[in-house]
């Protein structure tokens, strides 16, 4: 939930840039790169990573009520949708950088999709899914999850910069 708050702040920043895109009919492609990096590394890999690789994995070992497992499926689909939208954003930004002005509308549309879809996803987790998840775990299990979250986070900065170097090496 703490991580959701930072994602919301980034979404507000993106909304500000969206307003500027509308008034100035231009965007800084470097801003789009940085927003994509935030979404991919923080929101998706670090945050959804802890949800999918740890929380959902442990919930899958429990006898979930049908409606609870349905919500988990929806959340996984929403993570996929977020990834597809981000990929479309990257493609539009590449075209825009090459001088294709029509790609600006796609950049704006994908940003808009993200700013509309993420708050709903976050609300579903904060108000419904996380509280119901907690009921499946004992206090010991809850503490073990938390410890694994910390360990997962500890690796993220190393993973990010290792992949950055590998990206340069592959060029």
Contacting positions for Fe ion (CB under 5 A): 51, 125
Shortest Å, Cβ 48 to Fe ion: 5
Of 155, 37, 167, 150, nearest to 89 by C-alpha is 37
CA pair distance 63, 29, nearest whole angstrom? 47
Nearer to Fe ion, 44 or 106 (CB): 44
Shortest Å, Cβ 139 to Fe ion: 22
Nearer to Fe ion, 77 or 151 (CB): 77
Shortest Å, Cβ 4 to Fe ion: 6
59, 130 Cβ separation under 8 angstroms: no
Shortest Å, Cβ 7 to Fe ion: 8
Nearer to Fe ion, 51 or 68 (CB): 51
CA pair distance 158, 52, nearest whole angstrom? 20
Nearer to Fe ion, 67 or 140 (CB): 67
Nearer to Fe ion, 80 or 164 (CB): 80
Query: Residue number with the shortest CB distance to Fe ion?
Result: 125
Shortest Å, Cβ 39 to Fe ion: 12
CA pair distance 48, 171, nearest whole angstrom? 28
* Distances, alpha carbon 105 to alpha carbons 4, 69, 70, in Å: 27, 37, 34
CA pair distance 35, 148, nearest whole angstrom? 27
């Amino acid at each position: 939930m703490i991580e959701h708050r930072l994602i919301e702040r980034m979404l507000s920043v993106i909304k500000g840039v969206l307003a500027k895109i509308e008034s100035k009919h231009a965007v800084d492609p470097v801003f789009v790169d940085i927003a994509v990096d935030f979404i991919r590394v923080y929101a998706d890999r670090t945050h959804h990573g802890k949800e999918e690789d740890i929380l959902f994995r442990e919930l899958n070992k429990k006898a979930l009520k049908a409606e609870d497992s349905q919500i988990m499926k929806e959340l996984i689909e929403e993570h996929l949708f977020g990834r597809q939208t981000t990929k479309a954003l990257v493609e539009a930004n590449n075209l825009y950088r090459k001088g294709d002005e029509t790609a600006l509308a796609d950049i704006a549309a994908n940003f808009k999709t993200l700013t509309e879809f993420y708050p709903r996803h976050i609300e579903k987790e904060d108000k419904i899914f996380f509280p119901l998840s907690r009921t499946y775990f004992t206090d010991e299990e809850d503490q073990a999850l938390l410890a694994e979250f910390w360990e997962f986070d500890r690796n993220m900065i190393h993973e990010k910069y290792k992949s950055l170097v590998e990206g340069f090496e592959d060029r």
